[in-house]
Amino acid sequence: MSVSKIELSEKLDQRSLQSLFFNLKAKVGQPVELGTSQVRHLGGQCAQVLVAAVRKWSADGIELSFEETESFVSIVRNLGLEDEIFLKGSER
């Protein structure tokens, strides 16, 4: 099965929450790579959606990966979600 790519928007905030959720929901059961090169802001609710997606895909045994750009990794690290987003340590 080929990997679908979803480009995340520059500002992942309340305005982009619904779009993020539905874009991910449409890809459930498929391998997905999330493009993060444009991301400059990650709000709490969108972060929760991403963490839930990581857990869902992991539980289903399907690949969900993030383009690990310097800015996105920094944002995720500042939110204290590096282990959750990139599944460092034990798999969830």
- Per residue in 43-68, pLDDT tens? 999 999 999 999 999 999 999 999 98
CATH superfamily of 4-86: STAS domain (3.30.750.24)
1 pLDDT band, cuts 50/70/90, is confident
Among the residues of 1-92, which ranges form H helices? 14-25, 44-60, 70-78, 82-86
Q: pLDDT tens, 8-52? A: 999 999 999 999 999 999 999 999 999 999 999 999 999 999 999
Q: Are 6 and 24 in contact (CB under 8 A)?
A: yes
pTM, whole model, 2 decimals? 0.91
Sequence spans of domains, the chain: 4-86
Cα 62-67-68 angle, rounded to 5 deg: 115
